[in-house]
Amino acid sequence: EDKVVQSPLSLVVHEGDTVTLNCSYEVTNFRSLLWYKQEKKAPTFLFMLTSSGIEKKSGRLSSILDKKELFSILNITATQTGDSAVYLCAVSAGGTSYGKLTFGQGTILTVHP
């Protein structure tokens, strides 16, 4: 059974801090790992990672994948109150499971002013 585990489950920081969110996985026929941000509605897409060691960046957010150790991290630098959300990690498998995502529990990030 595919499995995705995120840590920490919750995190409280102050504006300007840097945070690192972790995601480890076990999946048969791995295809990609995805990060989403969820704020009281449906998740919005952040990153999709398929290759090890290649950092993806978008503004203050960045992410990297390690397919040997089966984990990914999501970094947010200079956090702002608008970054407060649930961050979801998910893995996508190929083959007959193409398109299906298995989600982790999520990390609840709270950024105080």
Partner 1 sequence: GAVVSQHPSRVICKSGTSVKIECRSLDFQATTMFWYRQFPKQSLMLMATSNEGSKATYEQGVEKDKFLINHASLTLSTLTVTSAHPEDSSFYICSARYPPGQGNSPLHFGNGTRLTVT
| Contacting residues toward partner 1, per CB under 8 A | 31-32, 34, 36, 41-45, 48, 50, 88, 90, 92, 98-106
As measured in angstroms, the least distance from the Cβ of 2 to partner 1 is 10
Quote the CA–CA distance of 1 and 8 in Å, as a whole number: 22
Nearer of residues 17 and 46 to partner 1, judged by Cβ = 46
Quote the CA–CA distance of 32 and 14 in Å, as a whole number: 32
As measured in angstroms, the least distance from the Cβ of 78 to partner 1 is 25
Nearer of residues 3 and 14 to partner 1, judged by Cβ = 3
Q: How many CA atoms lie within 13 A of 34 on its CB side?
A: 17
Amino acid sitting at position 100: K
Nearer of residues 17 and 71 to partner 1, judged by Cβ = 71
Secondary structure (H, E, C), 12-34: EEECCCCEEEEEEEECCCEEEEE
As measured in angstroms, the least distance from the Cβ of 62 to partner 1 is 17
